[in-house]
């Protein structure tokens, strides 16, 4: 997300960076994951941003990735296709509340770690599409979108020819 010169008060979203850091620390301490930090481009015309990933040590559980944008804001990716921009816009007209966005971040992350993410690839007349659902406490969402032929082929090779219900993350202490 690029800063828009017509948006004032964007720094009210800086709280999202603090909340994401706290969430990543909490999840890293509670679950058996590997944590990786990189610099990546979110799009071809975008600057490099810091990306933090939590990769569960079981391949049956979906990863979480959070990009810290300069706006300030976040781009959150759950599993393969669930993506969320926080804030979605950031302008005064949309009036997105940073506290509510922190709540969205936490609810989506905990729905993921509790095994509430489902994804699949489906073929249609016009090509292949991804479909994803996220269900958890305070979350019940669905997303879909087109895939390039290459992405669809890679997804099917990666096990997404049939629907994938991601497993809950293993907790430290071995109870899960």
CA dihedral 143, 122, 127, 125 (to 10 degrees): -110
pLDDT band at 172 (very low <50, low <70, confident <90, very high): very high
Is residue 10 over pLDDT 80?
A: no
Average pLDDT estimate for 119-141: 93
Q: What are phi and psi of 133, to 5 degrees?
A: -130, 145
Is residue 125 over pLDDT 70?
A: yes
Sign of CA dihedral 149, 151, 154, 159: negative
Is residue 88 over pLDDT 80?
A: yes
């Amino acid at each position: 997300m690029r800063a828009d010169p017509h948006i004032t008060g964007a720094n009210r979203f800086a709280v999202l960076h603090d909340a994401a850091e706290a969430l990543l620390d909490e999840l890293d301490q509670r679950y058996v994951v590997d944590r990786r930090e990189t610099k990546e481009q979110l799009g071809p015309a975008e600057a490099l941003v810091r990306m933090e990933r939590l990769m569960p040590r079981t391949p049956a559980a979906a990863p979480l990735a959070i990009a810290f944008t300069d706006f300030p804001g976040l781009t959150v990716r759950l599993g393969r296709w669930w993506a969320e921009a926080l804030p979605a816009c950031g302008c005064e007209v949309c009036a997105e509340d940073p506290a509510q966005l922190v709540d969205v971040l936490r609810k989506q992350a905990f729905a993921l770690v509790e095994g509430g993410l489902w994804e699949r690839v489906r073929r249609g007349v016009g090509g292949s599409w991804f479909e994803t659902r996220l269900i958890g406490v305070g979350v019940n969402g669905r997303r879909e979108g087109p895939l390039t032929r290459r992405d669809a082929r890679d997804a099917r090779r990666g096990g997404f020819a049939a629907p994938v219900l991601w497993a809950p993350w293993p907790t430290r202490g071995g109870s899960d």
